[in-house]
A and B are shown apart, each in its own frame.
Chain A
């Protein structure tokens, strides 16, 4: 069995009086692809954002690769990390957003190299070379000098994946990466994600693509109202869900 990459124990999060996560227990092992499904407002995206500390958790314990997210434990106390230290941990986790969030004032190549250059202070030549290689890998070798506005949604999302990969992360988080795309562009992005999974990347994917979850996912989690309702191998959860909320959700979307 591989080592544990992400571990959550009783993770809770609320925005004001609204409880978004009500005790999440979950484990992702290195090399595993975990897909999270569920109705909107279930807390999937919030949980994903907690993993790289874009949201602070209120209760529970969340670790990535054995290190607490956002805190340092020392003699029975939790010390909040500085902005720089949080950054150093985030640099090891790639994140892909629903709305791409590419930097519009930079070309595709500048988008993918800004992290290695400014955060990891890498040599410009090496960073550029790897940037080109990553863009080639996502099938955009000819779009190196294009600005995001000049690219289609699917191309933009593939640049966003290349941007995350250029940081050589040990974990990739995908927040509904295909939800903002035209249907015919979805498959390009899913193909890139599939090849990443084949290479053994650890991935947590919030998605509505049941086909992708079934084929690529090693495990599947169904969330509703801030709790994990059901989890297990994708095929069994999708074909024979045990919980009635899962059954109701799946019958509505399949």
Chain B
């Protein structure tokens, strides 16, 4: 067990390559570039949703229920209320990306300081913080997200907060591990000797050293957050109708799979998949750049 730990510590302390070569290395990784394109695609779609949408995403047209893709000017067809699927998918990008960014933001902004404090001070404070993190990660993540979302009541905000809380331990652990190893280094001691404040030591001298790993975590976390929020919406917990959200759209269309109206569920699912794929590919690509050992592995 100790062996394993030492091994992972070695990995963590490996130096990142110089800034100039990062983009070159990244762009050589074709999959990562594809991932970046996918992310940019969905970001552009989200920003220009009002321009791209051909119909009002929430406007039911009773006469145009269950139209096939392409029929009556509906590129991807219409759903059981006669709403245009294309416009709903386009607007759904806004909610999903927002939900992802906000929940990752919550985990990041709470997890990083907690991990930093626990790592820097250690002792009783550190122990209490990290044990609470252990408690949080003792739950399977989707189970905890469901329970939190139920406790806070249905709705977009509570789903985002729930997903955010679930991942706090990931960031806290990373920051904790880095901080507790960096704080013993001479330059931190020197900083303390010249009288720097603890907060500025953590923020300006320790945090930047952890940033690259935290960013990889956050990129992969964005994909995971989008997935979890849409799963919550699918279960009826997250985004509430009639707001266009991919998971909720799939939940709406679920009943019509058996009768053959496949497009209601298929297109929002493809949207979720491609956006998550984008974040996963970019996250993997960046991790490969930071960890040379992984490069042989993929």
Q: Do A and B come from the same complex?
A: no
A: residues with CB less than 8 A from B are none
B: residues with CB less than 8 A from A are none
